Amino acid sequence: MEIKDKALALLREDRNEDLKALIEYSKMTTETELIYLLMLIHLNRISHVDTNKGQSISKFFIEEFKCPLEDTLIYLVSLCVKYGKKCFRAPRFLPLNYISAMIERCNQIHSKYYHEIFVHLYKVLDCTETRITIENTLKEEALGNEFLKYVLRVSEDNKVRGTAVNIDALEAIIYREFRCFDNLLQKAFNINVRLYIELIRNIANSFGERVFANKNILTGKVDITDPVVFDKYWRCFIFSYEELYNYGGKSDELLRRLLFDADDFKEEELKYHYIVRKPIIKLSNDYFIISPQVLINSVYWNIHFWLLEEKSVSEEYKAQQSDRFLDRIRDIAKYANYYEVTRNKYIKDKNKDLGDIDLILKNEQGQFLIVEGKNERLPLDVYFGSYQDILARFQQTKSWEDKVIKRNNYLKDHCHDFNISSNFKYVIISNYPEVLSHFSSYLVLSLCEFEQWVTWGLPEMSFQDFYSYVYRKVEIKNDEVDINKINDFGYTIFKAQDAK
């Protein structure tokens, strides 16, 4: 076995052993610990750093650390729902050290998941049961650097999509994205977007009223480990069936689709947060546990996947969504004074089918923008940074570029046949960041990145230039306090060693 394979096998074996231990931990938890974890998610979302109070840890560090910590907390909630005891523990007996040990163990699992990326990218010099030593330079520097840049892009995109918003902003986003699919939701499930939004709004309002009713929670700094405080706070997360039924427009179907099913949760899927899809936790036939913060996260992905997974409406939804994607590109381009000329323009070179031009746009000066739209969702393993899956995705998307090259070359020679000027711009726009961007001779942007390019007036530039402007490297100088804080939470610092 090669040393790299040995290192990967060791990491995966350790990760599996940690997971088994974590499952055993979760079997000792109760619904009290479950609510405590939900409370930590809530506080993690609303936390901020007051730089006037002289914290010993940087604001940047805390803002960056909130994301991996939330991954850990959400995963632990699902684990406790599946394996925990169906009873409550008196708040004064809350085992804080036990919960901290679970968080630390879960953080270690996440660390080993990301360490696999470094083993792929760097030369492994030595591997023992307790230590993996890697060279301090990338094996293939150009490829490795672009891979790391891509992981950063996906991470930033994930933050934008996962950002918690207030109910009014959420409502505007969801209505914009999904109100046009109400007929499909009604046809397949007898529900609509308004019902879902009203359920979230009513639960969030009720939760807020309960919190504000407990004055001791709102007096300056709050110690949530105080049994008196926690005893009042945890009750805010419990809702009766009658409340939910009325909040959800008296739709049992909506509530059923949001109900956590422990049998469906797969603990090995560390990055796929099942509870975001199924955020209502059943206590009994009459009572449920709900976190408004997690419920807010559920709406965007749920509506999309409900329609995508339901065979009776799936094809119709995909067709409509494809048009909606082009509509969004068209609407964004208007800010640079480009307007739609036509779409889905079929191209054929003699007997060769060259496919469609997805969108042709034109400004008042007669300049054309040709758009290749790729409204595809990234596979989860790609979205979460799996090296092998990203390489496979790159090979797959190269076929896009092959077709684009043929269409582009044909258009250059026959542009007047389509009433297009010869100096047209060609851009590929995808729904999510694609690794192809880093290696293509064309400008390949995600929809969010396209918005940025539009604000600059669509200048001629390479993707490398675009990247250097948008994703400027932030130098992080962690002092000793920062490093200790990471270690306190169980994250391992994976340091590259000098080659000998």
User: pLDDT of 138-165, one tens digit each?
Assistant: 666 666 778 888 888 887 887 666 555 5
Q: Where do we find the tokens 């995966």? A: 12
Closest-CA residue to 369 (of 350, 392, 399, 341)? 341
Q: How does pLDDT run across 217-262, given as a tens digit for each residue?
A: 545 556 666 777 787 788 889 999 999 988 888 888 999 999 999 9
Residue 133, strand partner residues:
126
Residue 51 has pLDDT above 80, yes or no: no
Backbone torsions φ then ψ of 24, nearest 5 degrees:
-65, -40
- How would you classify residue 346: left for phi > 0, otherwise alpha for psi between -120 and 50, otherwise beta? beta
Residue 393 has pLDDT above 70, yes or no: yes
Backbone torsions φ then ψ of 116, nearest 5 degrees:
-60, -35
Cβ-based neighbours of 208, under 8 Å, separated by 6 or more: none
Cα separation, 30 vs 32, in Å, equals 5
Q: Who wins on pLDDT, 492 or 222? A: 222
Residue 297 has pLDDT above 50, yes or no: yes
Q: Who wins on pLDDT, 126 or 294? A: 294
pLDDT at residue 64 in the model: 45
Helix (H, G, I), strand (E, B) or coil at 355: strand
Q: Who wins on pLDDT, 452 or 379? A: 452
How far is C-alpha 299 from the chain's CA centre? 13
Closest-CA residue to 244 (of 283, 301, 275, 187)? 283
Q: How does pLDDT run across 58-104, given as a tens digit for each residue?
A: 444 444 444 577 888 999 999 999 999 999 998 888 888 899 899 98
Cα separation, 99 vs 389, in Å, equals 33
Cβ-based neighbours of 16, under 8 Å, separated by 6 or more: none
* CB 156 within 8 Å of CB 474: no
Residue 182 has pLDDT above 80, yes or no: yes
The runs of H, that is alpha helices, within 167-259 are 167-178, 182-189, 193-212, 227-233, 241-247, 252-257
Cα separation, 117 vs 128, in Å, equals 18
How confident is the prediction for the chain on average, in pLDDT?
A: 82
Q: How confident is the model at residue 213 (pLDDT cuts 50, 70, 90)?
A: confident
DSSP annotation of 213: T
Cα diameter, the chain: 79
Q: How does pLDDT run across 262-283, given as a tens digit for each residue?
A: 999 999 887 778 898 999 999 9
Q: How confident is the model at residue 27 (pLDDT cuts 50, 70, 90)?
A: very high
Average pLDDT over residues 290-299: 89
Closest-CA residue to 150 (of 328, 397, 403, 452)? 397
| Buried-state track 378-402, b at ≥16 Cβ within 10 A, e below 16 | beebbbbbbbebbeebbeebeebbe
Which pair of structure tokens corresponds to residue 90? 């008196």
Give the percent of the chain with pLDDT over 70.
84
Cα separation, 223 vs 217, in Å, equals 9
pTM of the prediction?
Answer: 0.81
pLDDT at residue 162 in the model: 54
Residue 298 has pLDDT above 50, yes or no: yes
Q: Where do we find the tokens 């672009």? A: 146
Residue 474 has pLDDT above 70, yes or no: no
pLDDT at residue 221 in the model: 59
N-terminal to C-terminal alpha carbon distance within the chain: 22
Cα separation, 397 vs 389, in Å, equals 12
pLDDT at residue 164 in the model: 52
Residue 432 has pLDDT above 70, yes or no: yes
* CB 420 within 8 Å of CB 409: no
How far is C-alpha 412 from the chain's CA centre? 39
Average pLDDT over residues 288-293: 92
Q: How confident is the model at residue 486 (pLDDT cuts 50, 70, 90)?
A: very low
Cα separation, 107 vs 491, in Å, equals 6
Residue 448 has pLDDT above 50, yes or no: yes
* CB 206 within 8 Å of CB 243: yes
Q: Which helix (H) or strand (E) holds 407?
A: helix 387-414
pLDDT at residue 358 in the model: 92
pLDDT at residue 203 in the model: 93
Cα separation, 493 vs 472, in Å, equals 23
Cα separation, 201 vs 205, in Å, equals 6
Q: Who wins on pLDDT, 486 or 182? A: 182
Closest-CA residue to 435 (of 470, 386, 481)? 386
The single-letter code of the amino acid at 386 is S
pLDDT at residue 50 in the model: 40
